[in-house]
Amino acid sequence: MATPSRSLADDIRGRGDAELIDLVLARPDLARPAPADLTSLAARAGTRASVQRAVEALDRGHLQVLEAVVVAGDAAERSVLLHLLGTDDAGTVDAIVQDLWRSALVWRGVDGDHVVRTVPEVLGTAVAGLGAPMRELRPSSPPEHADPDRIRATVAEAPDDSRAMLERMTWGPAFGVLPAAAPGRTTARWLLEHHLLVPVSTDRVALPREVGLVLREGRLHRSTELTPPDIEARPVSLVDAAAGGAASECLTHVDELAAAWGADPPRVLRAGGLSVRDLRVTQMSLDLDPEHTAFVVELAYAAGLVADDGEVVPVWAPTSEIDEWSSSEAGHRWATLAVAWLGSTRAPHLVGRRGTGTGPANALGPDVQWPAIRAIRREVLRELASLEPGSAPDHASLRERLAWRRPNRSAAVLDEAVEAVLRESEWLGVTGRGALSEAGRALVAPLLPLLPAVRGDRATQAGGGNTSNGKRAARGRGDRGSGSGGGITSTEQTPPEAGAVAEGVAAAMSAHLPSPVDHILVQADLTAVAPGPLVGGLGSFMRLAADVESRGGATVYRFTPESVRRALDAGWTAADFTETVRRSSRTPVPQPLEYLVADVARKHGQTRIGGAAAYIRSDDEAVLDTMLASRDLTPLRLRRLAPTVLVSSADPRVLVDLLRDNGFAPVHEGQDGTVVHAETPRRRAGSRRRGPGPMVSPVDRPYTQTLVDGLRAAEATADQRRVEDETRPGPRILAMDPVVTLSLLRDAVADRHGVWIGYSDGHGATSRHLIHPQKVEGGRVRATDESGHEKSFSVHRITGATLES
């Protein structure tokens, strides 16, 4: 139980080890850098930056109670809080207040609970949509103008149009602009004359807090939500099978992306990222919609499988890690992608949206970087993990629950991000048919201790307990646990190592991935059906020798003259091509395919191109005559040197492409007269170095226990030194962080408390002064010293400070 105190610093010094551990776990920013002593810890806990971070992490229930404590004032009775909140659930309110105390947003004095001084500053003047108190809006106003009974009687006498104006301002905002029309000004004038509104400028008015509370009938919020809303869910079947199929498709997409970019890597934009045109080319290659394509590209980048190659003319190319990844077992390949996605701070759904620059955000560009998406992914998956296995949530109720957990986020931005996370998790295979898969649960399980466990999660049945409609409400994963900090969650806790997570995730997914097949079914219409993911060698051959026509449970490939020529260009002979198809097919090779291969092979290489700048030779003079007569080939400026030889100033590769576009089938000839086989290029970018990075200890329970032990030791040492220094006036002053010093001085100004400071003069000598600070601003402290004279001290010369005993 907390010991009554005189200040936040006194409160924190009076806490036990377990309570200090809970405080640091709830607000891990207090631990970096490690404070020198408990006074420094208390000063840091009261700084605006730390308090703002803690308030932003509150859920709606804790935020509403904190707002009620602020409006009720210091040491308010619990009945006042219950009345403001419009509830009689004293147990829940007491538990939330205890959470706020545990997180040092409230401290416990002799007379009751007090909010930390910087909390009202962080919440602003419009707490819960209410305006400022009457005494702040108009300091000269007599006390009776803020009397609730008088306000209630005045409102009852107000004209209808004045009542309508008040009703529009009741639930906020509490500020309004005076109407330009005369009737509106007349209405506002009545309210101003009766002190229900207060002018704040020539054309703006404010609704005082006391008036707003009367209009709200004493309630602070339109609806009190101390517990999270339920998630409606429906049972689904074949979750893991669907997730395994999606995971297999995702692996195929990444393979195809690596093959496409390895052969023809796209350029890196000057500002970074992938151009819209190159993304569209990639989309056509993968046969996906734009959003899905952007996701695959960003996923491969997050996993380190593609990167900027760093050349003079940079391109996006597969890294050397792609080769090792491609040869790994399918479950491990998927685990690499899933772990990278969960930890990525990039938001693929922002691709194509208006960015910070003049145009839309590009894939792989800086505008897609959004650190908040990582926390949103984890929160979404936590909520999915809280449901029964095989339960798919209703998206609207899931969004409502997440909005309750994070009330300070923009609702529109949060809703869009949640939908994007659900969509991406389905594409990746983390979920199947909307429900979290077994592999998805393995992925999320190590993170659950790091995510919020909020009081009030409950298990209720949708529709008043009727489960015949197949809907179930979410089951909470437990109430507030020790050290959870209630509704406060840390954004700095460190997740488990990716390698440790990947093994379990890979094992969970491997059982549900379709088994690779080593055969195809060739059909008479020049198509081949792969009844599953193909083994490595056969899959590479089919991507080279045929075009993908459709995907699904089975992949349909189509053999075309262009695809056959692509294989012949890579060095395959017609006999090898046909034999590979015959050996891999469970059905006989149809004659149309054999004719196609033979026909393409017969034409292939009839014409050979080499460089003089470039020459064309052919034993068939009629072929060369046709080329010379073709108007489409005029730009090549072909010239006959011999009956069977033409030359051109064009590059040999340009000749090959243009002649093929005009129906010829040339091959490239080397300087020794042999055919140069066009092997598919395998461009590789240098691996992104993933060094050990900065050594930052996670703010976990062992670290926090060590920190608290150190703080206790520092306090014991300080006590011992105080005993030794009893002959010297004042306490011992330790050096401290300037931020901590400023916070302590501001607290002393607010509490009118004396402070001992160490002050360094121009020669470096340090003296001790007992001062009573009056104002802290502009890097200086104006204070009265022990003799009562007013002096000014430069903050940068203050070496340390401690409150007067």
Q: Rounded to whole angstroms, how far apart are CA atoms 558 and 592?
A: 12
pLDDT over 90 for what percent of the chain? 30
Q: What is the mean pLDDT of residues 430-437?
A: 93
Does the model's pTM come out above 0.85? no
- Could you write out the three-class secondary structure of 214-269? HHCCCCCCCCCCCCCCCCEEEECCCHHHHHHHHHHHHHHHHHHHHHHHHHCCCEEC
Confidence class for position 491, pLDDT limits 50, 70, 90:
very low
Phi–psi pair at 770, nearest 5 degrees: -100, 115
Coil, helix or strand for 100? Answer: helix
Model pLDDT, residue 529: 92
Model pLDDT, residue 477: 35
Instruction: Decide if pLDDT at 206 tops 60.
Output: yes
Give the number of other CB atoms < 10 A from CB of residue 617: 18
Model pLDDT, residue 653: 81
Beta pairing partners, 498: none
Model pLDDT, residue 452: 45
Closest CA to 169 of 209, 121, 218: 209
Model pLDDT, residue 438: 93
Model pLDDT, residue 633: 87
Return the higher-pLDDT residue of 217 and 462.
217
Segments in 126-206 forming alpha helices (H): 134-137, 148-157, 160-170, 182-193
DSSP string, 404-447: HH-TTS-HHHHHHHHHHHHHHHHHHTSEETTEEPHHHHHHHGGG
Model pLDDT, residue 677: 72
Model pLDDT, residue 424: 96
Q: Rounded to whole angstroms, how far apart are CA atoms 259 and 318?
A: 8
Instruction: Decide if pLDDT at 481 tops 70.
Output: no
Question: b/e map of 495-528 (b: 16 or more CB within 10 Å)?
Answer: beeeeebbeebbebbbebbbeebebbebbeebbb
Q: What is the mean pLDDT of residues 119-137?
A: 87
Is the bond into 143 cis (omega within 30 degrees of 0)? no
Per-residue pLDDT tens for 582-600?
999 999 999 999 999 999 9
Mean pLDDT computed over every residue of the chain: 83
Pick from 166-180, 222-236, 512-526 the range whose average pLDDT is largest: 222-236
Q: Are strands 555-558 and 306-308 parallel, antiparallel or unpaired?
A: unpaired
Return the higher-pLDDT residue of 592 and 763.
592
Closest CA to 407 of 24, 103, 128: 128
Q: Which residue has the tokens 């190159």?
A: 278
Is the bond into 179 cis (omega within 30 degrees of 0)? no
Cβ contact 170:216 at 8 Å: yes
Instruction: Decide if pLDDT at 462 tops 60.
Output: no
Per-residue pLDDT tens for 365-377?
999 999 999 999 9
Q: Rounded to whole angstroms, how far apart are CA atoms 395 and 686?
A: 41
Return the higher-pLDDT residue of 43 and 696.
43
Cβ contact 661:625 at 8 Å: no
Per-residue pLDDT tens for 326-336?
888 889 999 99
Copy the structure tokens of residue 16.
């036990």
E strand segments, 329-423:
391-393
Instruction: Decide if pLDDT at 70 tops 70.
Output: yes
Residue type, 129: G
Per-residue pLDDT tens for 702-746?
888 888 888 888 777 766 665 555 555 566 676 777 777 888 888
Q: What radius of gyration do the chain's Cα atoms show?
A: 36
Sign of CA dihedral 542, 543, 546, 551: positive
Closest CA to 770 of 736, 721, 733, 796: 733
CA atoms within 13 A on the CB side of 157: 11
Instruction: Decide if pLDDT at 453 tops 60.
Output: no
Strand order in the sheet with 175-177: 175-177, 204-206, 198-199
Model pLDDT, residue 182: 60
For residue 649, give Cα distances in angstroms to 177, 610, 659.
76, 11, 14
Among 29-43, 290-304, 305-319, 675-689, where is mean pLDDT lowest?
675-689
Q: Rounded to whole angstroms, how far apart are CA atoms 86 and 105?
A: 22
Q: Rounded to whole angstroms, how far apart are CA atoms 201 and 177?
A: 9
Beta pairing partners, 770: 756
Instruction: Decide if pLDDT at 105 tops 70.
Output: yes
Model pLDDT, residue 635: 84
CATH of domain 728-803: 2.30.30.100
